[in-house]
Structure 1
Amino acid sequence: MKRYGHGLVLGKFYPPHAGHHHLVRTARERCERLTVLVCASSVETLTLDERVAWMREIHPDALVVGAVDDIPVDLHDPDVWAAHMAVFRSAVPEPVDAVFTSEPYGEELGRRFGADSVCVDPDRTLFPVSGTAVRKDPVGSWDFLEPPVRAALTRRVVVLGAESTGTTTMAGALAEHYRARGGVWARTRCVPEFGREFSELKLAELRALRPEATWEDVTFHSEDFPLIALRQAELEEEAARAGSPVLFCDTDAFATTIWHERYMGTASPATGEVAARGRQHLWLLTDHRGVAFEDDGLRDGEHLRPWMTARFHTQLAHTGRRTAVLTGPHEERLAAAVAAVDALLAEGWDLADPPPTFGGGTPIPERR
């Protein structure tokens, strides 16, 4: 089997899937070094930077570069080919020895690069998936996606509320409900509240010095809250990479900003910055009314719950976060939560189509 010095794989990777990765890995095995060129159009939903970052993570042994290519696609127009090649050569100026594709245009692409054209699994027998199929039905294609892509597409649902309003119970119940649907949904995860673990550790550290200490003796500092928010976000990201198309979170960085207000009396810009980077889609606010207060030794008191509920509600609305308020007994709350989540999932992912191809054939550089 012939080996090459410098190989090239180019594609939209919109989004990248198992077929793309097989193509890249095959090329890497046959080349001393490999460049992967990610081409994106400005009309497409997933950004070029996202796709480049995903491909770099998944293929660290290849050089991954990106280019914006908004030129119309017409495989039978030499001038259009020349315009695309100008984009490609600007991104990959070094000589190319082999171009690896799974498309009919591979021969012409190789000729224009002055390189061999190597065709890999053109009938998609090893991985029956395409970018078009993933965009149309991410759930049905979930097993063909790598962790960073899954994390980006996962619909993230946050359950938040005042103390002792059932957030942990609700988040767990929702995860169990969707796991019961089977298939890809069986991997649905629930992210625990890191703030509680942090609080337990604070109390334990204090009791190591003063065995008689209680929760009332614990002191929080402003710098604690960005740390809590960051770790919460990390746990969420880890779960999204390994889970199903929906993820349930028992609080998030946004909720941590409200807890900072509760303990410090002011907003926390640093915690707010963490919250602003979040990728959540739906917030389920558990009302305190109708839920008995239970003091588990890490709670401040029932009298604070009305203020917390109101503050969550106000800030969720002020920041434009999609919210459903859960009221009534647990069964009613769960039914309302499932309805809100199902409505979110039913909306789909709304991934825009790439630019159309004129003159027939497969668009450059989409792998269908």
Structure 2
Amino acid sequence: MKTGLVVGKFCPLHKGHEALIAFAQARCDRLVILSYTKPEFADCPPERRAAWLAALYPEATRLVLDDAALAVFAMKKGAPPCTLPHNDAPAEDHRAFVAWVCQTMLGLTVQRVFTSEDYGDGFADALARDFGHPVEHVAFDPARSGVPVSGTLLRGDRVSHRAFLSEPVRRSLVRRVALIGGESTGKTMLAAALAADLGTCWVPEYGRELWEQRSGELRYEDMLAIAHEQVAREDRARADAEGWLICDTTPLVTAFYSEALFGGIDTALEALAARRYDHLFLCAADFPFVQDGTRRDAAFRQRQNDWYRGRLDRAGVSYTVVSGSVADRRTHVHSQLGLAHPA
């Protein structure tokens, strides 16, 4: 029985990795996929990489490691602590670490190692010395002509090279940008403008849609249903988003209305109100108040914004206040996202 090994950072996991893994799966009876990196890369934490591998390779033996996982392993085994080798550490350190993981953590050795790298032969020789039996290096497309992509390329410009990402990976890498603020603070205008700027989609406020359908007649139990539907629409929209997803409200806003209209917040809604976003922007109440027949007044608007600030500050949630014209707000958001100013 041949056991094969593929090792990678997978930051992010892309179709070049997938081609290598498929090649390996066809040439061994059992495949071990090991992922680690030190330091970590933005948007590719261990739990996310583990989820990608689990979704795409449920039949493989998968292990995604960081120093925290190694510390837990050492504590359970009563063994001396071990840490990941740095990405810039000598090749010998990485080879010894991989051999240790296979033997000590997984309780196995491998007969084949699959790479697209020049170091593959030396890697296999080092594993053979540690394991006490031959290990074959099987090279796959070293020139990367079949799938011309790399993690470095994708980290530099993920949106332009998104075709190299499978759906589970692409969806999970979409960054959610949320806008909150009181009535008549320009949230919807800003959401639509940002989506157009970024070439992506945005998720309108479901609570307002339901309010209009019900002619302003909502019940306490509707509040939790609104928050659930808002989150579900966000999750569905990620399939169509390109790099960013603009959210024209959050469950925190629904929680405010629940308290303001009905004097309380369901515990499940409280939990949803703690939902985190990659970037959260609070629209200042400095727009002229516009009464469209559905809103209260400027004092209520200010009360909303003060409530949001208080809740976010107490929870230690980071947010950015944007003010001024829609153009000013767009520029501020672009700057916070690390993007060029909008045209």
Interval of TM-score (by shorter of Structure 1 and Structure 2) = 0.7 to 0.9
Q: What is the rounded CA distance, in whole Å, between the counterparts of 2:211 and 2:23 in structure 1?
A: 49
Paired residue for 2:233?
235
Give the Cα–Cα distance (whole angstroms) in 1 for the partners of residues 295 and 260 of structure 2. Answer: 10
> One-letter code of the match for 2:119?
Y
Q: Over residues 310-366 of structure 1, what are the superposed CA-to-partner deviations in whole Å (9 max), with x where a residue is unaligned?
A: 323443455443223344xxxx22x12221222123279xxxxxxxxxxxxxxxxxx
Match of 1:215?
Answer: 216
Match status 1:193 vs 2:189: no
Residues in 2 aligned to 1:169 and 1:43: alpha-carbon distance in whole angstroms? 36
Tell me the residue number matched to 1:345: 337
d(CA) in 1 for partners of 2:166, 2:242: 12
Name the residue aligned to 1:168. Answer: 188
Evaluate the alpha carbon distance shift between residue 199 and residue 148 of structure 1 in structure 2; reply closer, same or farther with a 3 A threshold. farther
Instruction: Give the Cα–Cα distance (whole angstroms) in 2 for the partners of residues 88 and 344 of structure 1.
Output: 43
2:308 to 302, 309, 312: 312
Unaligned runs of 5+ in 1: 180-187, 204-213, 349-368
Is the counterpart of residue 9 in structure 1 residue 10 in structure 2? Answer: no
Partners in 1 of 2:105 and 2:240 — Cα distance?
A: 33
Cα distance change, pair 88–225 in 1 and its aligned pair in 2 (3 A): farther
Structure 2: stretches of 5+ with no match in the other structure: 67-82, 129-133
Structure 1's 282 and 120: CA in aligned 2 closer, same or farther, altered over 3 A? same
- What is the rounded CA distance, in whole Å, between the counterparts of 1:254 and 1:47 in structure 2? 26
Higher RCO by CA contacts (8 Å cutoff, separation 6 or greater):
1
Candidates 31, 35, 59, aligned match of 2:32: 35
Provide the secondary structure at the position in 1 that maps to 2:331: helix
Give me the whole-angstrom Cα distance separating, in 2, the residues matched to 1:313 and 1:81. 50
Q: Deviations over 1:11-49 (max 9, x none)?
A: 111222221122112222334443322223365553222
Contact 2:185 2:283 (C-alpha < 8 Å) held by counterparts: no
Q: CA deviation at 1:61?
A: 4.2
Q: Could you tell me which residue of structure 2 aligns to residue 254 of structure 1?
A: 252
TM-aligned CA deviation for residue 259 of structure 1: 2.4
8 Å CA contact retained: 2:102, 2:109: no
Distance across 2 between alignment mates of 1:275 and 1:126: 46
Percent identity reads: 32
- Output aligned runs, 1:59-208, within 5 Å: 59-68=57-66, 70-72=84-86, 73-75=89-91, 77=92, 81-111=95-125, 112=127, 114-179=134-199, 188-199=200-211, 203=214
Flag the 1:38–1:275 CA change in 2: closer, same or farther, 3 A: farther
Aligned match for 1:54, one of 52, 55, 63: 52
- Per the alignment, do residues 128 and 275 of structure 1 end up closer, same or farther by CA in structure 2, a change over 3 Å counting? farther
Q: Give CA deviations for 1:158-192 in whole Å, capped at 9, x if unaligned.
A: 2223345443333123212332xxxxxxxx11112
**1:284 Cα shift?**
4.1
The equivalent of 2:274 in structure 1 is 276
> CA 1:36/1:80 → structure 2, altered by over 3 Å: closer, same or farther?
closer
Match of 2:70 in 1: none
* 8 A contact 1:158–1:248 mirrored in 2: yes
Give the Cα–Cα distance (whole angstroms) in 1 for the partners of residues 85 and 204 of structure 2: 47
Cα distance change on mapping 1:242 and 1:324 into 2, 3 Å: same
Aligned position for 1:20: 17
Matched with 1:322 is: 319
Q: 1:227 to 1:102 in 2, by over 3 A?
A: farther
**What is the alpha-carbon distance in structure 2 between the residues aligned to residue 345 and residue 135 of structure 1?**
15
Q: RMSD between aligned alpha carbons?
A: 3.1
Mark the CA change 1:152 to 1:326 in structure 2 (over 3 Å): closer, same or farther: farther
Paired residues in the alignment total 313
- Looking at structure 1, the residues matched to 287 and 146 of structure 2 have their Cα atoms a distance apart, in angstroms, of 55
Q: Deviations over 1:230-264 (max 9, x none)?
A: 43233223333432222211101232232232233
Are the structure 2 counterparts of residues 124 and 149 from structure 1 closer, same or farther at C-alpha, using a change threshold of 3 Å? same
CA, structure 1 residues 83+29, in 2 after alignment: closer, same or farther (shift >3 Å)? closer
Secondary structure at 1:215's aligned position in 2? coil
CA contact (8 A) 1:155 1:345 kept: no
Structure-1 separation of matches of 2:282 and 2:168? 25
User: Against the structure 1 CA distance between its residues 11 and 88, is the aligned structure 2 distance closer, same or farther, given a 3 Å change threshold?
Assistant: farther
Q: Deviations 1:39-87 (Å, cap 9, x if unpaired)?
A: 2336555322221112212333433222335125322x4x763343102
Query: Cα offset for 1:125?
Result: 1.4
Q: CA deviation at 1:292?
A: 1.6
